[in-house]
């Protein structure tokens, strides 16, 4: 993922990156949505929408969505080159 953070990903590393994304999604899926941290410097801060989170969001594995309301991690893992 360090490569990806730097803004690029070599084609030979795509399968490893997808595997890592799937692992991240699985691990985030073990954390309930009420445990999200909005501000690392002020752990009492809540998201602007507070606790008004869609029922379709069940954990932090599917908490992160794109502007078109698609699952960010799932969409990233399925958009293969």
Q: Global pTM?
A: 0.71
pLDDT of the chain, 81 residues: tens digit per residue:
677 778 888 899 888 888 888 899 899 999 999 898 999 999 999 888 888 888 888 999 988 888 888 888 875 555 554
For the beta carbon of residue 45, count every other beta carbon within 10 angstroms: 11
pLDDT at site 81: 46
- Distance set, CA 30 to CA 3, 27, 63, 66, 72 (Å): 26, 5, 12, 21, 17
For 27, phi and psi rounded to 5 degrees?
Answer: -65, -40
């Amino acid at each position: 993922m360090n490569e990806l953070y730097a803004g690029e990903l070599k084609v030979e590393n795509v399968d490893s990156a997808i595997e890592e994304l799937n692992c991240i999604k699985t691990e985030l899926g073990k954390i309930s949505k009420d445990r999200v941290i909005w501000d690392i410097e002020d752990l009492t801060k809540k998201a602007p929408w507070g606790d008004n989170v869609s029922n379709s969001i069940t954990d932090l594995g599917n908490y992160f969505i794109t502007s078109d309301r698609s699952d960010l991690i799932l969409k990233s893992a399925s958009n293969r080159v």
